[in-house]
Amino acid sequence: MARPAALSRERIVEAAAALASRDGAEQLTVRALGDELRCDPTALYRHFRNVEELHRAVGDHFLADVSVHPRPREGWRTAVRRLCVELRRAQLRQPKLAALVRSAPTRLGNELAITEALLRELQRGGFRTPSAVRAYHSLIELTVGSAAIDAALSAQPVVTREATYRSWRNDYAALDPERFPSIAAASGILYQGSADQRFEEALDVLLAGLVARRK
């Protein structure tokens, strides 16, 4: 081949992931990555066509946590539900990196495996291809979207988060009941419970709706 090759896609991706999860995805710049790797920033372009390609690789890196292999005695609906819950959990674990994968699918290894697993399970559940694809889109929309919403808050410690929810409910309760009667009546239970609960509730409702429209 060529020269010692101090760099490699893997080494770059790992450095980028460390940098992004430490300083935030917005700090993941070509020059900062050069500092992190102790090499010239533009050396990156020997391994990636542009930053977008790098972002996709980094985004895919942490999706490896989702286990996509079929489990014996697991029904399709349980499998789909678990895949979505794990995908969400992986994104919430790395909220800063999740910003890289939610706007566009990476179309790389780990994400492809998740997509394949979801489509496979839906088909096993009796969805024919066009219907399975529509169901897949709906599930991803809810799962990834919900993770995007909750990313910021889930980064906070539990006590802080609970305090935040409480202050929201207080704000709702302080409203003029004449102008906002429905909010006032609901102020005690708005944003009660965890975001995980709210997501799984929505997921179950969506799944039920999908089953009813299955074809």
Binding residues for a copy of itself, rule: CB under 8 A, are 102-105, 107, 112, 115-116, 119-120, 123, 129-130, 132-134, 136-138, 141-142, 144-149, 151-153, 164, 168, 171-172, 175, 179-183, 185-186, 189-191, 198-199, 201-202, 205-210, 212-213
Give yes or no for residue 23 binding DNA (CB under 7 A).
no
Using rule CB under 7 A, residue 212 touches DNA: no
Q: Nearest Cα to 130, choosing from 37, 213, 22?
A: 213
How many residues bind DNA, per CB under 7 A?
24
* H runs (alpha helix) in 38-108: 51-61, 76-93, 95-102
Window contacting DNA (CB under 7 A); options: 45-53, 100-108, 126-134, 149-157: 45-53
Binds 173, which of DNA, a copy of itself, none (CB < 5 to 8 A, cut-off by type)?
none
Give the C-alpha separation, 204 to 138, whole Å. 12
Task: Please state, in angstroms and as integers, the Cα–Cα distance from residue 137 to each residue in 132, 133, 143, 145, 210, following that order.
Answer: 9, 6, 10, 11, 11
Assess contact for 210 and 121: CB atoms under 8 A: no
- Subset of residues 132 to 161 that bind DNA, contact rule: CB under 7 A: none
Nearer to DNA, 16 or 210 (CB): 16
Residue 18 binding partner per list a copy of itself, DNA, none, with a CB distance cut-off of 5 to 8 Å that depends on partner kind: none
- Is residue 51 close enough to count as binding DNA by CB under 7 A? yes
Q: Is 135 exposed, middle or buried (0-12, 13-18, 19+ CB in 10 A)?
A: buried
Q: Which stretch binds DNA (CB under 7 A): 42-50, 84-92, 197-205, 206-214?
A: 42-50
Sign of CA dihedral 118, 124, 125, 126: positive
| Least distance from DNA to the Cβ atom of residue 159, Å | 19
Query: Can you tell me which of 50, 170, 192, 197 binds DNA, judged by CB under 7 A?
Result: 50
Q: Are 57 and 20 in contact (CB under 8 A)?
A: no
Question: Using the 8-state DSSP alphabet, how is residue 57 labeled?
Answer: H
For tokens 């799984």, the residue is 200
Q: Which positions touch DNA (CB under 7 A)? A: 1-7, 27-32, 39-43, 45-47, 50-52
